[in-house]
Amino acid sequence: MIVVDTTPPPRLPVRDRTGGRERAGGAVSPMLTRLAAERATGVLERERGVLYLVEGRVVHAESPFAPGLDVLLLTHGTLEPGVWWEAVERSGEERGAARLLLDTGRIGRGALEVCHLGALYDAAYFALTPSSTPGRFRYGTGHWFGALRPVPVDAVERETLRRRELLDRLWPDPLPDSAPLLRADPAAAPLPPSRQRAVLALVDGVRTATEIARELGRPAFPTLVDVRRLAAAGLVTARFPPPVAQPPPALTLPQVNDPDITLLKRLRDALEAL
């Protein structure tokens, strides 16, 4: 009699993506995690941006690769330029620009918080980019905008990791994030959505994704998403930098022991010494 074992095979192990993300969260910036634990106040300076902390929470972030809060508020008429610059000039350590704007009723708290949080996460994504340059923290340094809605460090790190994973899924090549963009013309490319068409209209072989975001008055990360989707559709390519010209090798003359040449060299040296 043949006995057939019908016991199902053991399940294959499945990687816990959530646990991996949590473990990697502290690796985004160990210094930032330590500053959060000690409830530090000051500014963390990194290669591609800065993060301002108050009692271990992020209250503001800035990066040259992300349009600032002023761009997001002024481009689409959310705030008048004169109102913004007046608040900036009158802001101080005790009363930041955010408090002045809210106290004078120039903008609603909800609108200001949405724009500020968008700018904060946008700049933090670039500031927390892996870098070979060590960060530096200056204690007690505030920001003129003030603390509007502090964000926990672990929330900033989780969002940064989520954004990295999203971009990798859309298009694994990071070159279009920073290089000048060129338009491609595939034979049967689908018509992109209107949001992506606005980005595509500014692709001219010179502008980068950050410059396009600033001109459109949009946060940089959503623009990176649009650019990578356009790259995946074959509508955009990154312009490679031109190769750096290498200097020609130095000409090495052979050593010659001809007495006439030796005499000429001595005469030359004597004339140069006169």
Q: pLDDT tens-digit profile of 88-100? A: 888 875 578 888 8
Q: Please give the Cα distance from 26 to 194 (Å, whole number).
A: 38
Q: pLDDT tens-digit profile of 74-129? A: 988 889 999 999 888 888 755 788 888 998 888 999 999 999 999 999 999 999 99
The model's pTM: 0.76
DSSP 29-49: -HHHHHHHHTT--EEEEETTE
Query: What is the identity of the amino acid at 272?
Result: E
Task: Select from 151, 157, 135, 161 the least CA-distant residue to 56.
Answer: 151
Q: Where are the domains of the chain?
A: 29-169, 175-238
Q: What are phi and psi of 182, to 5 degrees?
A: -115, 145
